[in-house]
Amino acid sequence: MHTRILAALLCGCAVASPAFADTVVVNDQVQVRESQIPTPHRGSTMGDVEKQFGAPATRHATVGEPPITRWDYNGFAVFFERDRVIHAVITGG
């Protein structure tokens, strides 16, 4: 019982803490390296993102159901489901 609770807490901490990483290809192999580029946190609203990071360089049209939207910034892209961040990706651009 205690092991399950501890495992659940550890998993929750791992999900809650932000991790920054870049994916790079070296000699045809994908590698992950640490990144210091700040990105929005999962669950943030579009308004929160715009307040913290400013207007995006590009706003892509919403697609699919549920509606998914992508905003591009210099160095990263943010993906929203409806108006909430679901993922931020380092693009290196």
**pLDDT, tens digit (0-9, with 9 covering 90-100), for 77-92:** 999 999 999 999 998 7
Dist CA 53 CA 40 (whole Å): 8
Q: Which residues pair with 67 in a beta bridge?
A: none
| Whether pTM exceeds 0.75 | no
What are the extents of the domains in the chain?
Answer: 2-90
**pLDDT, tens digit (0-9, with 9 covering 90-100), for 13-70:** 444 444 455 555 667 777 666 778 899 999 999 999 999 999 999 999 999 999 999 9
4: Cβ–Cβ under 8 A, 6 or more apart, which residues? none
89: Cβ–Cβ under 8 A, 6 or more apart, which residues? 76, 77, 79
The encoded tokens of residue 44 equal 């943030």
- Residue 19: closest CA among 88, 92, 91, 93: 88
